[in-house]
Structure 1
Amino acid sequence: MNKDLEELTALNRDYVASVQNCDVKRFDEILAPEFYCSNPDKTLVDRAAFLEQTARPIAIRNLHEHDVVIRILGDFAIIHAATSYTTADGRYTDCWAKQNGKWLAVSAHVSR
């Protein structure tokens, strides 16, 4: 389980950094085909729409995660965390599934 925890910790950091840096390429690598995200504006977007919105520049700066709780439930994991950034604070919950030996994000929920 330590290997999974280390891998998920790194993926969580990549995920947050990809939001800050509009890194569509990295998201394309770590999002499952069935990925969905609940946005702060209450919209629900699928993988393709999430990648499109990620490509757009964002107004927030200095984004970082804290109070991270990673729960591993076999081949499924849930990450709860808080975020802080220059313009506001928020929370997120990401769900990850191990598919063919690789962790992929299957769901996200963001609030501000």
Structure 2
Amino acid sequence: MERTTSGAGFVALGGFVGALARYGVDVAVGDATGVGTLVVNVVGSFALGLLVTRAVGPRTRLLVGTGVISSFTTYSTFATDAIALGTVAGTLYVAASYGLGFGAAAAGLAVGRGS
């Protein structure tokens, strides 16, 4: 991993793009039910799975992986949404998030490998 000022710039630029995309999903889907968080985490899982199978340079990994995808997805909001939904709905939300997230990551890896 590139640990330089330019590396930090790639992460910052990617973070800016990912945060704007995340905000756009929340505006489009709404964030009261946790659906927006579920969507970004599943899409991000697929994208990261796809990224790690590609022969991309370290700057692309910093920009897209550490920057865009990391700021687009979120664990803290996921946890807060799960608690706010209550015991039954929260449990279903956690199960759906993990199931769909792992499935999306596996799909991204498979697509990236050409399987």
Is TM (by shorter chain) over 0.5? no
Q: Which has the larger radius of gyration?
A: 2
RCO comparison, higher one (Cα < 8 Å, 6+): 2
Q: Greater strand percent: which structure?
A: 1
Q: Greater helix percent: which structure?
A: 2
